């Protein structure tokens, strides 16, 4: 049985003060979360301060992106070592906004995952099809390509540290959630791909979370699906009460 994994992706929202207030109120509401993994991903500027607020709690910190290089002339970029230094345990890699707005491709995403793992950061590796791809009937081909290329050269030992987030692009920030069946079909396929690229024992344990317009109202039905192990929440994670309701789904 995989422990439910619920992560908040704040995207480009919240000042340091707002982020710390959120972390403090979330801690107050979620006094213990022994049966759930809870992660929050503030913007870079708030990571260090939020890490201090979360000290001693079970809530883990994630960054929203990183660069694969160790250091050097990459103006505006942040390395895995810097994220560890700021208190992160996780990093979101390959989010659809990075792929579609900033042109990140599978090969670059793969390099970032390798660098994150090398530094002991756990990647939350995002994949998902666009509406056009779904309507053309190529969803599974897209997912298989993103998994194959994104996880290229990642060992069986390391794959256990990767969380896969299935986020259909058409469901992100649109209020249009995948139905539980659509989510389950995709998650089952992702697990089958992991089994094909690795083995059954690895596939059984890999954490596969769903993202795309998750709310306190739909989390329960999504989590009732066998292969849905958690959620990556954008809009509904910006308010601590709403996010706490998602974490505490029945």
φ, ψ at 219 (rounded to 5°): -60, -40
Question: How many helices, marked H, and strands, marked E, lie in the chain?
Answer: 12, 8
* Shortest separation between residue 71's beta carbon and ligand PGA, angstroms: 28
**Is the CB of 97 or the CB of 203 nearer to ligand PGA?**
97
| Catalytically active residues, by annotation | 95, 167
**Is the CB of 43 or the CB of 203 nearer to ligand PGA?**
43
Integer CA distances (angstroms), 189 to 15, 18, 203, in order: 39, 39, 11
Residues at the contact surface with ligand PGA, assessed by CB under 6 A: 9, 167, 172-173, 211-214, 232-236
- In a 13 Å sphere around the CA of 33, the CA atoms on its Cβ side amount to 24
* Shortest separation between residue 176's beta carbon and ligand PGA, angstroms: 9
**Is the CB of 121 or the CB of 172 nearer to ligand PGA?**
172
Instruction: Report yes or no: 206 and 191 within 8 Å, Cβ to Cβ.
Output: yes
* Shortest separation between residue 95's beta carbon and ligand PGA, angstroms: 6
Instruction: Report yes or no: 199 and 240 within 8 Å, Cβ to Cβ.
Output: no
- Helix ranges restricted to H, the chain: 16-29, 47-54, 80-85, 96-101, 106-118, 131-135, 139-150, 156-159, 180-197, 200-205, 219-223, 240-247
**Is the CB of 213 or the CB of 240 nearer to ligand PGA?**
213
* Shortest separation between residue 233's beta carbon and ligand PGA, angstroms: 5
- Rounded to 5°, the CA angle 203-6-132 comes to 70
């Amino acid at each position: 049985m995989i422990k439910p994994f619920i992560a908040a992706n704040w995207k480009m929202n919240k000042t340091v003060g707002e982020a710390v207030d959120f972390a403090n109120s979330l801690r107050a509401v979620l006094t213990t979360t022994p049966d759930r993994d809870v992660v929050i991903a503030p913007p870079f500027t708030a990571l260090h301060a939020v890490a201090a607020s979360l000290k001693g709690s079970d809530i883990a910190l994630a960054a929203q992106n990183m660069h694969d290089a160790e250091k050097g002339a990459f103006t505006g970029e942040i390395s895995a070592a810097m994220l560890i230094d700021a208190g992160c345990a996780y990093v979101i890699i390959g989010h659809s906004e990075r792929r579609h707005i900033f042109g990140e491709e599978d090969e670059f995403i793969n390099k970032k995952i390798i660098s994150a793992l090398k530094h002991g950061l756990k990647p939350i590796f995002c994949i998902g099809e666009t509406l056009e791809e779904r309507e053309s009937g190529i969803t599974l081909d897209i997912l298989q390509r993103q998994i194959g290329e994104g996880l290229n050269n990642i060992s069986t030992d390391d794959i256990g540290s990767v969380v896969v987030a299935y986020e259909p692009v058409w469901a992100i920030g649109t209020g249009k959630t995948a139905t539980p069946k659509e989510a389950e079909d995709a998650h089952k396929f992702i697990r089958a791909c992991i089994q094909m690229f690795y083995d059954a024992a690895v596939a059984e344990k890999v954490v596969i979370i769903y993202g795309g317009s998750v709310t306190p109202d739909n989390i329960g039905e999504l989590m009732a699906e066998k292969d849905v192990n958690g959620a990556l929440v954008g809009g509904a994670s910006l308010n601590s009460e709403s996010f706490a309701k998602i974490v505490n789904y029945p």
